[in-house]
Amino acid sequence: MSGELRSESLEQALAGPRWKRVVLKLSGEALASSASDETIDAAIVSRLAGEIAASCAELGTEMAVVIGGGNIWRGTTGAGEGMDRATSDTMGMLGTVINALALQDAIERAGQPTRVLSAVHMAEVCEPYIRRRALRHLEKGRVVILAAGMGSPYFTTDTPAALRAAEIDADVIMKGTHSGVDGVYSADPRLDPSAARFDEIGFMEVVAQDLRVMDLTAITFCRDNQIPILVFDIMQPGNIRAALSGKQIGTLIS
């Protein structure tokens, strides 16, 4: 280990966790395989779960994961083909429950206790989302996995991530990206090589410049309730821990 690396990890250990309680917004597509057409890639889930388990254990961070379902179904896909939008969105919400169970299994195999709480009640499968119960689990050091978004159609899981962050008094929303874009840029860096990444940016600028990092409803909700959002590349190994321990990665919207 180089002297630089050693002093960096020592610095992180001494600094402790940057935030006490976080909401991690994990897109369903992050669980899918880019190499094959696996809807849920066991190796990817295991890698993400291992990082979540290890960083929460080491840093003592309380974490609620809001899991998406885009790898299985998106409401807009069905609606675009003529399906009833509310029905199609309900299918999307059920997809998030499948992902939540996959993530729960992997995080628990990594040695970290979890609870899945769903906004659509499924007594045989997981607990219902009850705010005070979620808080109790967090206080007990369990990773809480929030499934089925808000339980209402016409939303994506970005807005429930913001809502739950406010409800459980989280210090930040960590929005993990999976498309190779590691933060908020002045333009899409995949299309415009001159695009520059912001280390920090204000909510108003994100809205005014129409920088599509999260749904607008979620962004304005976070602005109104003063919940910062860290946009970072979750597919880069080590980034969850780096973000939790305060290393400068991604873009902080505040």
Cα→Cα distances 76→39, 196, 210, 219, 236, Å: 18, 31, 20, 20, 29
* Minimal distance, residue 59 CB to ligand UDP, in Å: 25
For ligand UDP, the nearest residue by Cβ is 68
* Minimal distance, residue 15 CB to ligand UDP, in Å: 30
Closer to ligand UDP at the Cβ: 27 or 61?
27
Tell me the two tokens of residue 142.
């369990």
Closer to ligand UDP at the Cβ: 28 or 183?
28
User: Residue 92 and residue 80: Cα distance in Å, rounded?
Assistant: 14
* Minimal distance, residue 161 CB to ligand UDP, in Å: 9
User: Residue 52 and residue 145: Cα distance in Å, rounded?
Assistant: 12
Residue whose token pair is 């908020």: 184
Give the end-to-end CA distance of the chain in Å, rounded to a whole number: 35
Binding region for ligand UDP (CB under 6 A):
27-29, 68-70, 74-75, 89, 92-93, 95-96, 149-150, 152-153, 155-157, 160
Closer to ligand UDP at the Cβ: 92 or 183?
92
User: Residue 177 and residue 199: Cα distance in Å, rounded?
Assistant: 15
* Minimal distance, residue 113 CB to ligand UDP, in Å: 24
* Minimal distance, residue 158 CB to ligand UDP, in Å: 6
Closer to ligand UDP at the Cβ: 24 or 59?
24
Tell me the two tokens of residue 120.
């659509």
Cα→Cα distances 17→21, 108, 220, 239, 245, Å: 9, 22, 27, 14, 5
Closer to ligand UDP at the Cβ: 17 or 68?
68
